Amino acid sequence: MAEQTFLIHTDADGSLVFLHDDCLQFLYEHGTVQITRNADVEPDINAQWWVDLGRSGIYKHLGPFQTRAEALQAERNFLEREVLP
């Protein structure tokens, strides 16, 4: 199995903040869980995929991307670089 790295930090109130990944579900056993979607990933009429980061409070669009997987990876990269400390 390939090694993975995850960015996890604590908010001012002590809450853990991280990008969801199924392999991190064990953390949910240690308290209340609130999962929030930070972006919308949708295709346009030309089947090009776009990321709308408005839900995160950042009014930015990423794209276009040829596949949904590329758009999701771009979303993750952006959030890890720009939103998570």
Whether 35 maps to a domain, the answer reads yes
Determine the pLDDT at residue 1. 55
Instruction: Name the domain count of the chain.
Output: 1
pTM of the model: 0.75
Whether 3 maps to a domain, the answer reads no
Give the confidence band of 85 by pLDDT, cuts at 50, 70, 90: low
Whether 18 maps to a domain, the answer reads yes
Give the confidence band of 25 by pLDDT, cuts at 50, 70, 90: confident
Whether 44 maps to a domain, the answer reads yes
Provide the residue range defining the domain that includes 49.
8-83
Whether 65 maps to a domain, the answer reads yes
Contacts 24+ apart (CB under 8 A), 15-24: 17/84, 18/84, 19/76, 19/79, 19/80, 19/84
Backbone angles phi, psi at 26, to 5 degrees: -60, -25
